[in-house]
Structure 1
Amino acid sequence: MKLPENRFKRALSEDGVQFGLWLALASPVAAELCACVGFDWLLVDGEHGADDFRSTYSQLQAIEGTGTPAIVRLADDDPVRIKRYLDMGVQSLLIPMVDTAEQAERLAAAVRYPPRGIRGLATSITRASRWTQIEDYARHADEQICLIVQAETVTALDNLKAIAAVDGVDSVFVGPSDLSASMGYLGQPGHPEVQAAIAQALRDIAASGKAPGTLAGSPEAVRTHTANGVKFLGIGSDTALLVGGSRGLLNSVAG
């Protein structure tokens, strides 16, 4: 067997914006359904969603058959947790609350094998290597790992250029909700000052040569972020679609 190409990582270096959906239901059925729609990527949320190790595993299996790239957001930057998810076969990781270049450097080491990093090796018992059936997995695994760090505080924005400059960081994702709270506008990610900070951050990330990402809740936001150099956008979630569709159906008959 050949090591699967990380199509999401490749797409970040190509023209255009990649549109994706957040998965928080921890359901392989919902994940497979959404993967069949045609999104450029799906993100399994292990930070705020209901996902754990086993539910993430099941969702990856469900998504894989559709060919849609999967990203997994972890709960924290624990290198042991990172190792377990990489061994599961995750190729693209989003790590929340990355505030400094030093933290980004530790993450870059955690996702790579020695001598570039510290990731532990156990190919015979891991899905990532298809239990040693992928030829030279350990030799080539690093090439397909995509490390996305999340900048979502004032401190992170102050250190943004240094974070983006870290070798091994492929992308920086700007998190609007936590950033708004950090800026003193709790629950107001659309506040003009927050949006101005996001716009500048996207431009700075793009100028660094790394791929900028963030969320967009409207066609206007998509256009604005695209003009600022964004490469991938989360445009919704399975939970929001379910709530919105359910409410719309009820309102259509109940008034």
Structure 2
Amino acid sequence: MENPVNRFKAGLREGRHQLGVWNAIPHPTVTECLAACGFDWIVIDTEHGAMEVTDALPALQAVAGYPAASAVVRPAINDWVLIKRHLDQGAQTLMLPYVQSRDEAEAAVRAMRYPPRGLRGVAGMTRASRYGLVEDYSHRAEDELCLILQVETAAALDRLEEIATVEGVDGIFIGPADLSASMGYPGQPEHPAVVAAIEGAIARLKAVGVPSGILTLDPDFARRCIALGTGFTAVGVDMLSLRNGAMGLVEAFGNA
């Protein structure tokens, strides 16, 4: 059996823009619905909210039924044990939060790789290897694994190129909410200083040839980021879409 191709990683290499959405509601029906909508990538988010490692598995299985969609799993922290568990469940792309230095980026890369290049624990009967049916998986796994690191503080932004150019890092995700807080503007990702920092980061990453990504709920800013060169842009969150849709119904029919 062949090792499945990571379409998200291929898209980054091709320079093709990929549109994404956030999945925070811990039920595979929600994940499957998002996959059916036509997004290129779906973040299965175990950092914030109620979703756990065990919730990520049925979410991955739900996305697998839609060949055009790619799952991006966000572990709760840049931790080699959590990384190993998500990889063994079949996650091919991980997005690691709060990476602050080149050393932390290098540690993340090692956690993605089997020895002797890394420290990922070896297990045979995992979903990642199709339960042992992918021939020579331990030697071939790395080819289709993709590592995205989140840069989401002013301190990390100062070290952007150091982090981004670590061999084995496939892309950098800029976190506007945490970045705005670290810059002294909590809850104001639209502040001009924050916007300037984000736009500058996109340009800096483009200059070193590393794909950049972002989540923004502002359609105009999303289009601006895409025009500046983001390779993967998320434009929605499942819980927010649910809330806004429900509120719209109440507003439309509340006085009926």
For this structure pair, what is the TM-score category when the shorter chain's length is used for normalisation?
over 0.9
CA contact (8 A) 1:23 1:49 kept: no
Gap regions ≥5 residues in structure 2: none
Return the alpha-carbon distance in structure 2 between the equivalents of residues 199 and 19 of structure 1.
Answer: 18
CA contact (8 A) 1:83 1:110 kept: yes
Which residue identity is paired with 2:177?
S
Return the alpha-carbon distance in structure 2 between the equivalents of residues 207 and 39 of structure 1.
Answer: 27
Q: What are the superposed Cα offsets for residues 222-244 of structure 1, whole Å, 9 maximum, x if unpaired?
A: 22112321100110011011001
Which residue of the partner structure matches residue 27 of structure 1?
Answer: 27
Return the alpha-carbon distance in structure 2 between the equivalents of residues 169 and 247 of structure 1.
Answer: 40
Which residue of the partner structure matches residue 106 of structure 2?
Answer: 105
Summarize the alignment of residues 1-255 of structure 1 with structure 2, pairs less than 5 Å apart.
1-67=1-67, 68-123=69-124, 125-255=125-255
Which residue identity is paired with 1:165?
T
Q: For 2:138, what is the secondary structure of its paired residue?
A: helix
The RMSD of aligned alpha carbons is 1.0
Return the alpha-carbon distance in structure 2 between the equivalents of residues 222 and 176 of structure 1.
Answer: 12
Which residue identity is paired with 2:29?
V
1:135 to partner: Cα distance: 1.4
1:209 to partner: Cα distance: 1.2
Which residue identity is paired with 2:30?
A
TM-score, scaled relative to structure 2: 0.97
Q: What are the superposed Cα offsets for residues 39-78 of structure 1, whole Å, 9 maximum, x if unpaired?
A: 0010100001311122111111111111211000111011
Q: For 2:128, what is the secondary structure of its paired residue?
A: helix
TM-score, scaled relative to structure 1: 0.97
Return the alpha-carbon distance in structure 2 between the equivalents of residues 16 and 172 of structure 1.
Answer: 15
1:206 to partner: Cα distance: 1.6
CA contact (8 A) 1:93 1:146 kept: yes
CA contact (8 A) 2:226 2:233 kept: no
Which residue identity is paired with 2:96?
I
1:216 to partner: Cα distance: 2.6
Which one is further off, 110-119 or 173-182? 110-119
Which one is further off, 173-182 or 219-228? 219-228
Q: What are the superposed Cα offsets for residues 149-175 of structure 1, whole Å, 9 maximum, x if unpaired?
A: 000001100100100110000000000
CA contact (8 A) 1:104 1:166 kept: yes
Q: Post-superposition, which runs of at least 4 consecutive aligned residues in structure 1 deviate over 4 A?
A: none
Q: What are the superposed Cα offsets for residues 189-231 of structure 1, whole Å, 9 maximum, x if unpaired?
A: 1101001000001111121111100123233212211232110
Which one is further off, 139-148 or 216-225? 216-225
Q: For 1:110, what is the secondary structure of its paired residue?
A: helix
Return the alpha-carbon distance in structure 2 between the equivalents of residues 47 and 31 of structure 1.
Answer: 16
Q: For 1:172, what is the secondary structure of its paired residue?
A: strand
CA contact (8 A) 2:74 2:96 kept: yes
Q: What are the superposed Cα offsets for residues 108-149 of structure 1, whole Å, 9 maximum, x if unpaired?
A: 1110112221111112x2111111111121111001110000
Return the alpha-carbon distance in structure 1 between the equivalents of residues 226 and 45 of structure 2.
Answer: 24
Which residue identity is paired with 1:175?
G
Q: For 1:94, what is the secondary structure of its paired residue?
A: strand
